[in-house]
Amino acid sequence: MNINTIFLLLLVIAAYLNLYFTINKKKKKTKLPISSKEWREKVEDANFKSWLTNRKRLKNKRKENIDQ
């Protein structure tokens, strides 16, 4: 066997091992500490609270501008 043939076989084996480990890595699912539904509710709640405070602030600014 030629040295190039040996290196080619090692390269093919390495490529297949890399493919095998990549596929196995994708199959694993990790358990998240919070579900996507809970996260969405948390973000929506924060956005709603922010919207309420901005609305109150704008109403106060309008009242101040009308009074002047």
Q: Indicate the pTM of the whole model.
A: 0.42
**Domain total of the chain:** 1
pLDDT per residue as tens digits for the range 14-24:
999 999 988 87
Measured CA to CA, the distance from residue 55 to residue 63 in angstroms comes to 12
Q: Is residue 50 part of a domain?
A: yes
Residue 13, classed as helix, strand or coil, is: helix
Domain enclosing residue 48, as ranges: 3-26+38-67
**Residue 12: helix, strand or coil by DSSP?**
helix
In a domain, 55, yes or no: yes
Asked if the structure places residue 46 within a domain, the reply is yes
The pLDDT of residue 34 is above 70: yes
User: CA nearest 23: which of 13, 12, 11, 15?
Assistant: 15
Alpha carbon 46 to its chain's center: 18
